[in-house]
Amino acid sequence: MFVLGFTFLGFSALLIIFTIAFINSPALLILFLCVYFAVLFFVIYKFSKSLSASFRRLAKIVQFGASLLPENEIAESAPTDIKSLEKAMKVITKEVTNRLGQAQSERSRLEAILNGMSEAVFAMDSSLKLHLVNPKARELFNLGSSDVGAKTLLEATRSTVLVDIVKKAINAGTPLETELTFRFGAEQHFLVYATPLNNNVGVVLVLQDVTRLVKLERVRKDFVANVSHELRTPIQLIKGFSETLLDSVKGKQDKHFIEIIHKNAGTMENLTNDLLILADLENNAVNTRDLEELSIAALINEVVFSVEPKANKKNIEIITDCKEDLSVKLYGSLIIQALINLADNSIKYSKEKSKIWVSAFTENQELIFEVRDKGAGISSEHLGRIFERFYRVDRARSRDDQQSTGLGLSIVRHIALLHKGNAEVESHVGEGSVFRIKIPILN
């Protein structure tokens, strides 16, 4: 542009000089003007052609990408500033092309992952307008090949429950996990995960079908309950007749054999009773009318009264701590059973002439029951599984304990879960254990 302006100014000055010089000679003036305008037109034409070629190259760079153009395709006649602009645009276009290629590669990888997932996936913005739906979600909610970009989550799923779950996750700003049941002809069970994106710009919703697992768990629970129920009567008969034989048999060896039968029949009876209790707890077979406002101090006193005979045999002192005016809505008989299980364990694994503490208090809108001892303690590798059914910390010692069923702590955990709470333990080998039942206080 600078060269063109300089050329134009030069020719203009030359035109003025020659006009003054040949003003008295019209023929020469006309000849000069013709030459002047021919040269000026030629200069403008060459410059325009060079400029047009440069712009065409810039257009190609933008349209096709710098990498698709030959490196030696350079307009040498283009002005310097145009060449600089062209080089800059080639660098920018090359970077943009690389970024687009990476984005397309990532998108293809993401689509492959989503298409291969057995879970239904929805991605949406904070207003619940859908951006992405994988094939499993389309199949589940019968969306076909319709354009989901024009739909909201409610329009696509027709589920106000899912909408409420997503809104809760967005409002909380943290991932939310819950269980949900749909009826698509047959009953289907899902684990639902709602995860807000950074700064709550959107949310990802994942539905995992666990129908088969739920059915298997239901079969297992029914099997345990039915078998335990069917075993209860024959075990009671064995136990009853063995007691009768103990009173009538006279031979020392025969009596020893019958005592073994009687003791093991008692163990089996305890086991079937605990299995039936667990089955009832897992199936929520508890009458909600049993939930009532109860004095916690009275419950603890009943627990102490029940385990005191065992404690007295080892000269163990039971110390209680609970406010007399503390009362909470609970399933009283179940809480008593859970605390008896914990206190019985503490007595069992504590030394003679030691102490155990049974207490209850409120903290952060929770009722906390605590059973503490200074017994043998539990090593850290067992703490994560201590509440599993039939899990034993000391299997050799447990085999010697004919009264142990391996279900006591599992029952404690299920009773806590029934109250919408949880059970936990702190323990160190040689220092003792602290078992807690935490229950939300209902208004």
158-209 residue pLDDT tens: 888 999 999 998 888 888 888 888 887 778 888 999 988 887 788 999 998 8
pLDDT digits (tens, 9 = 90+) for 3-58: 455 455 555 655 566 566 555 566 666 666 676 667 767 767 666 666 666 666 66
Residues 425 and 309 in one domain: yes
Q: Which domain holds residue 235?
A: 216-282
Each residue's pLDDT, cut to its tens digit, for the chain (443 residues) gives 444 554 555 556 555 665 665 555 666 666 666 766 677 677 676 666 666 666 666 666 666 555 545 554 444 555 566 667 667 767 777 777 778 778 777 777 777 777 777 888 898 888 889 888 888 888 888 888 777 777 888 888 888 899 999 999 888 888 888 888 888 777 888 899 998 888 778 899 999 888 888 888 777 777 777 777 777 788 888 888 888 887 777 777 878 888 888 888 877 777 777 777 777 777 666 655 567 888 999 999 999 998 998 999 999 999 999 998 888 888 888 889 899 989 998 998 888 889 999 999 998 888 999 999 988 888 888 888 888 877 777 654 444 454 566 788 888 888 888 888 899 999 888 888 999 999 988 76
Residues 205 and 150 in one domain: yes
Residues 199 and 222 in one domain: no
Residues 329 and 420 in one domain: yes
- Smallest CA-to-CA distance from 129 within 153, 113, 145 is with 153
Residues 301 and 436 in one domain: yes
Residue type, 70: P
Q: What's residue 53's pLDDT?
A: 67
Residues 296 and 427 in one domain: yes
For residue 369, give both structure tokens. Answer: 């029951």
Task: Round to whole Å and give the CA distance between 26 and 19.
Answer: 10
Structural contact between residues 408 and 385, judged by C-beta atoms closer than 8 angstroms: no
Residues 327 and 429 in one domain: yes
Q: Is residue 309 packed enough to be buried (19+ CB in 10 Å), middle (13-18) or exposed (0-12)?
A: exposed
Residues 297 and 356 in one domain: yes
Is position 6 within any domain?
yes
Residues 197 and 249 in one domain: no
Question: Which positions ≥6 away from 149 have C-beta within 8 Å?
Answer: 129, 130, 131
Is position 112 within any domain?
no
Is position 350 within any domain?
yes
Is position 127 within any domain?
yes
Is position 370 within any domain?
yes
Boundary residue ending a domain (282, 302, 332): 282
Is position 108 within any domain?
no
Count of domains observed in the chain: 4
Residues 264 and 305 in one domain: no
Is position 358 within any domain?
yes
Residues 223 and 245 in one domain: yes
Residues 298 and 432 in one domain: yes
